Structure 1
Amino acid sequence: MLYLNLLCGRVIYRLVSYRDAILKEMPDFRFALEKWAQASFSVAKILPVKTHASTSKSDFAWICFGVDGEVALFCGQKRVKLWSAASFSSARKVELGFPVDMTLLNDRDGNTRQQSGAIVFPERIHIFSIELTDKQ
């Protein structure tokens, strides 16, 4: 099976492929688009998050970045954490401006329980912690 997440505003779809083997000499490949999850904001980017345990394809961790700077951490289809854009500027009482991009930062020691994300703003970069627990 092939999994691919697609964005459509606030809804995240999963493209699934499967094969019907009715005729052995000519297998029939099919694709289906399934509603996977929904965010409370318009999504601009989705990134996979490395986990310490091998998870099933339907229970992987991922993070999505909103067009206004919101961030949500998902485990499978369940949202487990939400950061508002305002929470990134309240610590320093600074107006961050319009968010440009988001990336995930990897530790050199390979620690997958605690990772960091970075949101790029026009004049600064904001780094935030992503903690994965066994309960997620």
Structure 2
Amino acid sequence: MSTTFPFRFDPRYRPALALLGVRPSTARVVVGQGEVRVRFGPWRVRADLADVVAVEPGGPYRWWKVIGPHLSLADGGVTFGTSVAAGVCLRFRRPVPALLPGGLLRHPGVTVTVADPPALTRALTTP
């Protein structure tokens, strides 16, 4: 069984995100069947649940650091953001491809601004 977690969309940023192909119908996190899958418009992340080594709540954020797809210069992580309210950072044992095609760039973590961060945290940390 899989559980889907939609992203929280701040109305102020919806038009800009839509230009990138990021809409409520194309943005979600799915946990189940031994894996976690993130879709953020044309970007995708897929990892085995066993590779998720940490789940950290975050936010609130500054809009210029979170809205849209972002690469963190501090740690190489990726952020897929649709809201400044709150999010969840997933850290991986093995870095995952996300921003560039072909796995050219791999990320040790992904931050997602889902509508219900505590529920996503529970789904990823409950055995």
Same fold (TM over 0.5): no
Bigger strand share: 1
TM-score, length-normalised on structure 1?
0.34
Structure exhibiting the larger radius of gyration computed from Cα positions: 1
Q: Return the structure number with greater helix share.
A: 2
Higher RCO (CA < 8 A, seq sep 6+): 2
> So what's the TM-score if we normalise by structure 2?
0.36
